[in-house]
Chains A and B, each alone.
Chain A
Amino acid sequence: MIDMVNTAEQPLIRVEKLTIRFGHQTVLKNIDLAVPDGQTLALIGESGCGKSVLIKTLVGLLEPVKGKVEFDGHDMHKLNEKELAGLRQRFGFVFQNAALFDSMTVGQNVAFPLEQLGDFSPSEVREQVLERLHEVGLPKNVVTKSPAELSGGMRKRVAVARALIVNPEVLLYDEPTTGLDPVMSDVINELIIRTRRRTPVTSIVVTHDMHTVRRVADRVVMLSPYARLAGGQPQILFDGTPEQLDQTTDRRVRQFVNGEAGERLLELAGDTSN
Chain B
Amino acid sequence: MVASSFNWIADLGETVHDALVSLGAFTVFVGRLWYWLLVSVPRWDTLMPNLYQVGVRSLPVVALTGTFIGMVLSVQSYAQFRQLGLETRLGAVINLSLVRELGPVLAATMLAGRVGSAMAAELGTMRVTEQIDALSVMGVNPIKYLVVPRFLACFFMIPILTIMADFMGVCGGFFYSVIVLGIDKFHYLENSAVFVTGFDLISGIAKSVFFGGAIALVSCYQGFNSEGGAEGVGKAATSSFVYSFVGILILDLFLGIAIQNLQSFLYPGGTKLL
Contacts and interface: CB of A to CB of B under 8 A. Distances in A.
B136 A102 contact: no
Contact of B141 (A56, A81, A100): A81
A91 B134 CA distance: 11
A89 interface: yes
Interface string B126-137: 100111011011
B130 A85 contact: no
Main secondary structure on A side of the interface with B: loop
Contacts of A60: 136
B214 to A, nearest CB: 25
A178 interface: no
Nearest to A97: B129
Contacts of B129: 97, 99, 102
B54 to A, nearest CB: 15
B132 to A, nearest CB: 9
A60 B141 CA distance: 13
A96 interface: yes
A114 to B, nearest CB: 10
A85 B134 CA distance: 12
B125 interface: yes
B139 A101 contact: no
A113 B135 CA distance: 9
A83 B125 CA distance: 28
Interface string A31-67: 0000000000000000000000000100111000000
B246 interface: no
Interface in B121-168: 125-126, 129-131, 133-134, 136-141
A86 B139 contact: yes
Interface size class of A (residues with CB under 8 A): 20 to 34
Nearest to A101: B131
B130 A99 contact: yes
A238 interface: no
Contacts of A56: 133
Contacts of B126: 101-102
B139 A85 contact: yes
Nearest to B125: A102
Contact of A96 (B130, B138, B140): B130
A179 to B, nearest CB: 14
B139 A95 contact: no
A84 to B, nearest CB: 8
Contact of A116 (B125, B130, B131, B139): B139
A97 B138 contact: no
Interface in A93-143: 93, 95-97, 99-102, 112-113, 116
A99 B138 contact: no
A95 B138 CA distance: 12
Contacts of B138: 88-89, 112-113, 116, 166
B141 A61 contact: no
Contacts of A100: 131
Given A81-B141, A85-B141, A61 B136 contact: yes
A157 B137 CA distance: 18
A95 B140 contact: no
B133 to A, nearest CB: 5
B134 A93 contact: yes
A88 B137 contact: yes
A25 B256 CA distance: 47
Contact of B139 (A89, A97, A99, A102): A89
Contacts of B125: 102
Interface in A4-28: none
A93 B140 contact: no
B141 A93 contact: no
A21 B130 CA distance: 20
A99 B141 contact: no
Interface in B156-202: none
A97 B136 CA distance: 16
A59 B138 CA distance: 10
A97 B140 contact: no
Nearest to B128: A97
A97 B137 CA distance: 15
A172 to B, nearest CB: 8
A89 B140 CA distance: 9
18 contacts: A56-B133, A61-B133, A81-B141, A85-B139, A85-B141, A86-B139, A88-B137, A93-B134, A93-B137, A99-B129, A99-B131, A99-B134, A100-B131, A101-B126, A101-B134, A102-B126, A112-B138, A116-B140
Interface of B: 125-126, 129-131, 133-134, 136-141
Closest 3 CB pairs of A and B: A85-B139, A99-B134, A99-B130
Given A85-B139, A102-B131, 19 more contacts: A56-B133, A59-B136, A86-B139, A88-B139, A89-B138, A89-B139, A91-B137, A93-B137, A95-B133, A96-B130, A97-B129, A99-B131, A99-B133, A99-B134, A102-B125, A102-B129, A112-B138, A113-B138, A116-B140
